[in-house]
Amino acid sequence: MASGSMASSGAGTPCTAVWLVTTAAHLSVNYWATHNVSLSYIAQPLTDWSPYIMLEGFLDLSLLGYIGVTLVLTHITIASVTIFLHRYQAHNALTLHPLVSHFFRFWLWLTTGMVTKEWVAVHRKHHAKCETTEDPHSPQVQGIWKVLFGGVGLYRAATRDAETVDHYGKGTPDDWLERNVYSPAPHLGVLTMAAIDVLLFGPAGMVIFAVQMVWIPFWAAGVINGLGHFWGYRNFETTDASRNLSPIGILIG
């Protein structure tokens, strides 16, 4: 009996929605016809703008322009991770103006969906337990391929450990925005970024968005955490397996 009532109520919802939409459309047409307003007049602005927005976006760039925009956007994300999450939040190695700090936090919400407290906690635990079985992402323990191509999965698994997040995530932002927007709704930021990319760049925006979404999972969670603790050279010995990948840094985040 219970399952039968659920099925009937579930089926009724779409029917009700269809009826409401149909009725609203019917009333709207009657209204505009009664007031002698042409529907083509109402639709003309949409007709003028929609092909432009959907096929080109507000910004119509060359191929090099789209590549340049992508590199700028992703570099801002890399800088946000390096400056804000890593040096400022995780290690307290520098001080940022509140406006600058919040820009980085907002940008990371848009482009990664990462929660500041979770990232800081995972990184601090990595330093505390480096190259041990408790290290969230050591290639020496997990294997290079698992960290290189599955580093984001290891990160997500570590963030689900409430004890780790509470213990190692102390001192991170805990204001109204963090409690009500950034932490509880990380996917909202990513969806907002997707909408912005498509509106600005049209179909190319979907490609730009895709690159933005894989940038940190591959370069940070994969290459830095993986190769950076597995392959390369070092100028002096340390207690962990960290390495330098290249002695030349042309553009560093």
pLDDT the model gives residue 247 = 86
Q: Which of 31-45, 50-64, 178-192 has the lowest mean pLDDT?
A: 31-45
Does residue 187 form part of some domain?
yes
Q: Do 178 and 131 belong together in one domain? A: yes
Short-list 97, 103, 81, 111, CA closest to 192: 111
As a whole number, mean pLDDT of residues 158-184 equals 97
pLDDT the model gives residue 163 = 97
Q: Do 138 and 16 belong together in one domain? A: no
As a whole number, mean pLDDT of residues 89-101 equals 97
As a whole number, mean pLDDT of residues 80-86 equals 97
Q: Do 68 and 32 belong together in one domain? A: no
pLDDT the model gives residue 5 = 35
Q: Do residues 17 and 10 touch, judged by C-beta distance below 8 A?
A: no
Does residue 244 form part of some domain?
no
Quick one: residue 19, left, alpha or beta (phi over 0 = left, psi -120 to 50 = alpha)? alpha
Q: Do 32 and 119 belong together in one domain? A: no
Is the pLDDT at 29 greater than 70? The verdict is: no
Does residue 197 form part of some domain?
yes
Q: Do 122 and 209 belong together in one domain? A: yes
Is the pLDDT at 22 greater than 60? The verdict is: no
pLDDT the model gives residue 54 = 52
Q: Do 117 and 208 belong together in one domain? A: yes
**pLDDT (tens digit per residue) in 39-73:** 444 445 444 555 544 567 899 999 999 999 999 99
Number of DSSP helices (H) and strands (E) in the chain, helices first: 12, 0
Can you point out the beta strands (E) in 71-225?
none
Cα–Cα distance measured from residue 78 to residue 74, given in angstroms and rounded to the nearest whole number: 6
**pLDDT (tens digit per residue) in 1-12:** 444 433 333 334
Amino acid 234 reads R
Q: Do 129 and 213 belong together in one domain? A: yes
Q: Do 99 and 171 belong together in one domain? A: yes
Q: Do 214 and 150 belong together in one domain? A: yes
Task: Please state whether the predicted TM-score (pTM) of the whole model is above 0.85.
Answer: no
Overall residue count recorded for the chain in this entry = 253
Cα–Cα distance measured from residue 203 to residue 197, given in angstroms and rounded to the nearest whole number: 9
Domain count for the chain: 2
Q: In 3-state terms, what secondary structure has residue 94?
A: coil
Q: Which of 24-33, 123-132, 166-175, 216-225 has the lowest mean pLDDT?
A: 24-33
pLDDT the model gives residue 56 = 76
Q: Which two tokens stand for residue 100?
A: 């600058």
As a whole number, mean pLDDT of residues 208-212 equals 98
What is the domain extent for residue 78? 63-229
Does residue 43 form part of some domain?
no
Tell how far CA 35 is from the center of its chain: 47
Is the pLDDT at 209 greater than 90? The verdict is: yes
Does residue 180 form part of some domain?
yes
Torsion 151-157-159-165 (CA) sign = negative
Q: Do 180 and 225 belong together in one domain? A: yes
Q: Do 73 and 178 belong together in one domain? A: yes
Is the pLDDT at 208 greater than 90? The verdict is: yes
Amino acid 188 reads L
As a whole number, mean pLDDT of residues 124-134 equals 97
pLDDT the model gives residue 249 = 78
Q: Which two tokens stand for residue 115?
A: 């929660």
As a whole number, mean pLDDT of residues 218-239 equals 93
Q: In 3-state terms, what secondary structure has residue 17?
A: helix
pLDDT the model gives residue 36 = 47
Q: Do 8 and 84 belong together in one domain? A: no
Does residue 213 form part of some domain?
yes
Does residue 47 form part of some domain?
no
**pLDDT (tens digit per residue) in 153-169:** 999 999 999 999 999 99
